Structure 1
Amino acid sequence: MTIESDNFEKQVKRIHEVLVQDHGKVTWNDKIPDPDNPKKTRQIDITVRINNEIIHIECRHHKDKQNVKWVEELVGRKISLEATAMIGVSSSGFTEGAIKKAKKLGIFLCNLNQLTETEVKSWGKKTKIKFLYYKFSNLEICHFLESIKGISSEEIQKDIFSKPEYYDILFNQIKYKLTENKDFIYPYGFQFNNITGGNIEILKRPIISISVRGDVDKVGYDYECPSFFSFKPPVQVAQPLASIEKNETPGLEIIKSSSGFATVSIDLSIAPQAPPNSVFTGIEFSKLPGSKNYPPKFNVIGSHEQQVYINEAQFVIAEVKKTTI
């Protein structure tokens, strides 16, 4: 079995997880005892267990269409391993004879095919994806130090520009403050006080606190998955059971079923680098099916923390007021 075949089987497994939801258990590369020789295990590409029933799914990721011979092999495995039902999935389709034979012998067939751009447009169901960023302007950043004797704002700016980790600490705190407040209407003028500087020092002097004020707007950049697949029986009039959108490299996959379920798997590291004076804040998806009881599921991996670049800001220094008792 090749890595490519493995990935195809895992793709089919994820599709069935969306189709089945919490009504059954879907397992890839399952091992079951042979009914006639329990000491020996038999490998199944994918199993779906629903109550006391077990459905076997066998996959073929070949260049040529699958023929009658494979359908007959599926019939034999269904009988021998006592499966409730048998499904054959192909990435290259089936011959006319295979389709007829499967219908007669009770084998379910499905194609997992990539659609052309014209076919995708005829569906009209492509998911809209938007990467969101907070974009800042008119920034004034005031650093409170125990003493500012002997240093200037120009020296501070030069020192800060040499510390990219400073921006990450500062703007991630600002981002979380903005995200926490759902009542902001953008663009928005803000001022946040008592922001910490972590362990960052300015000219070898610890930062006691930071105050930031300025304007912020929320901007978005549209994105669409370049590849679109359908999962459907090999009959011209058959309706698709599911659609799959994905990019060429692992990072984003959207599976939507015709029955109204959806799962999104995303690696946040695919988010475009934030422009200068901006910080990544999230992703919006439109046209995702779901309901109150079965909302879209999200599998998120990777980090969305990106290096922040500031090219327009006014840097100010001030001394912490000392309290006399």
Structure 2
Amino acid sequence: MSEKPSTVFERQIERIHQLLEREPARVTWNERIPDPDNPEQLRQVDITIDRDGTIVHAECRLHQAPQDVQWIEELIGRRVSLGADVMIAVSSSGFTTGAVRKAAAHNIHLRTLSELTDDEITLWANTAKAWLVFYEFTDCRLRIEMCCEPPVEEPWISKEDGSAVEWRGMFEPLMTEFDGKPELDNGRAIFEVDIGAPILVNGQKPIKLTLAATVRRLKQPVPLDAMLRYAATDSSVDAIARVQKHADEIIEIIQSSDEVAFVTDSTNLVVPPDAFFHTIEMDFMRPIILRWVKVVSPQFAMQSNVEVRAHIRYRRPDLDLTSSGTDDNEK
């Protein structure tokens, strides 16, 4: 089940503060704390920031209309009631003039998270660019040599623990090696290489594994879906942080000054036919400091539709028989 829009908004503000805060600060979403006056009653806080003992509460509103004085007054009372040292009000739609004045008088910090227009994005320098990198493998043939006589039953291939083979593990080292071959961006190459893989044939370990295939690198530019600005209403600074969302939120880049955080969610990732997803390349157009990386739903990035045809050769000093079969685990 997808998250509610208000939850998505809160989690976005949480991630921004995870970049903005400094160690040993701790950022927590949706924390429930005992009410100081009624300890048996738990009170929900959208985002709690513990700055080494200084407690900050951030409350978020995802509304269409600017937030008014009434919400600010509620937050003034909430700060006192829950014993917070600092209160931040975050609105997706801004604040009324009265709300800004009331907040300034009572030390409530106002923040907005708003989407930039296409014209504003064009004027904003140093927009990061991103590419999804895949490797396409076709005509994949795995030659397996066995030092035993052929079994009576149909050959079956498994991992050493008896589970189904995940072919991706055989291709991972090759993809890393192919990163150093720029010619694969513009054409295909045929390769044949001996590999080591933890597989068994009918419970027996092969004496040799040789993988042959045609490979091509696919680099897909990732379109920029939206850019958001996280800003203070009472600051002359253009933005505290900015957020880039790419390709149905597969990539999210959070930037503050020269520091960057990166979130990738492969739930909506579409892997091309006969390919494995390999990595994400990014160009920030300037030197940056990468603070942290978060990976969501990595299992979707591991999916593939690469077909591997296995050919098994059985050898003995007095016997040289060949049997072939196809493993469709990755079809």
Task: Give the structure 1 partner of residue 30 of structure 2.
Answer: 29
Listed as ranges, the matches of 1:197-236 within 5 Å are: 198=199, 210-213=209-212, 216-234=215-233
1:321 deviates by 4.1
Q: Name the CA distance, whole Å, in 1 between partners of 2:64 and 2:70.
A: 16
1:65 deviates by 0.5
Structure 1 unaligned residues grouped into runs of 5+:
149-167
1:128 deviates by 1.9
Task: Give the structure 2 partner of residue 245 of structure 1.
Answer: 244
Normalising to structure 2: TM-score of the pair? 0.73
Bigger share in helix: 1
Listed as ranges, the matches of 1:277-316 within 5 Å are: 278-287=275-284, 290-291=288-289, 295-303=291-299, 304-309=301-306
Q: Name the CA distance, whole Å, in 1 between partners of 2:310 and 2:42.
A: 72
Task: Give the structure 1 partner of residue 263 of structure 2.
Answer: 265
Listed as ranges, the matches of 1:10-29 within 5 Å are: 10-29=11-30
Task: Give the structure 1 partner of residue 50 of structure 2.
Answer: 49
Q: Name the CA distance, whole Å, in 2 between partners of 1:197 and 1:297.
A: 30
CA shift in 2, pair 1:295/1:62, >3 Å: closer
1:138 deviates by 7.9
Match of 2:273 among 256, 275, 286: 275
Q: Is contact 2:110-2:234 (8 Å) kept?
A: no
Aligned length: 297
2:316 is paired with a residue whose SS is coil
CA shift in 2, pair 1:252/1:196, >3 Å: closer
1:296 is paired with a residue whose SS is strand
1:198 deviates by 4.9
Residue-by-residue CA offset, 1:147-203 (whole Å, 9 max, x unaligned): 89xxxxxxxxxxxxxxxxxxx9585244223145488434466321256695789xx
Alpha-carbon RMSD:
3.9
Q: Is contact 1:60-1:91 (8 Å) kept?
A: yes
Match of 2:168 among 162, 166, 172: 172
Q: Name the CA distance, whole Å, in 2 between partners of 1:248 and 1:217.
A: 23
CA shift in 2, pair 1:318/1:63, >3 Å: closer
Q: Name the CA distance, whole Å, in 2 between partners of 1:120 and 1:227.
A: 9
Q: Is contact 2:250-2:267 (8 Å) kept?
A: no
Q: Name the CA distance, whole Å, in 2 between partners of 1:183 and 1:282.
A: 10
1:231 deviates by 0.8
Task: Give the structure 2 partner of residue 322 of structure 1.
Answer: 316
* Aligned amino acid, residue 286 of structure 1: D
2:99 is paired with a residue whose SS is helix
Q: Name the CA distance, whole Å, in 2 between partners of 1:219 and 1:183.
A: 11
1:3 maps onto 2:14 in alignment: no
Normalising to structure 1: TM-score of the pair? 0.74
1:301 deviates by 2.3
Residue-by-residue CA offset, 1:196-252 (whole Å, 9 max, x unaligned): 695789xxxx99865233553433111134122111113584321111233586x53
Listed as ranges, the matches of 1:141-152 within 5 Å are: 142=143, 144=145
1:99 is paired with a residue whose SS is helix
Bigger share in strand: 2
CA shift in 2, pair 1:16/1:324, >3 Å: same
CA shift in 2, pair 1:320/1:108, >3 Å: same
Q: Name the CA distance, whole Å, in 2 between partners of 1:197 and 1:50.
A: 48
1:112 deviates by 0.9
Q: Name the CA distance, whole Å, in 1 between partners of 2:166 and 2:79.
A: 61
Task: Give the structure 1 partner of residue 103 of structure 2.
Answer: 102
1:190 maps onto 2:191 in alignment: yes
Q: Name the CA distance, whole Å, in 2 between partners of 1:112 and 1:228.
A: 10
Q: Name the CA distance, whole Å, in 2 between partners of 1:34 and 1:299.
A: 34
Task: Give the structure 1 partner of residue 61 of structure 2.
Answer: 60
1:53 deviates by 0.8
Task: Give the structure 2 partner of residue 118 of structure 1.
Answer: 119
Structure 2 unaligned residues grouped into runs of 5+:
151-163, 320-331
Q: Name the CA distance, whole Å, in 1 between partners of 2:169 and 2:44.
A: 51
Q: Is contact 2:18-2:27 (8 Å) kept?
A: yes
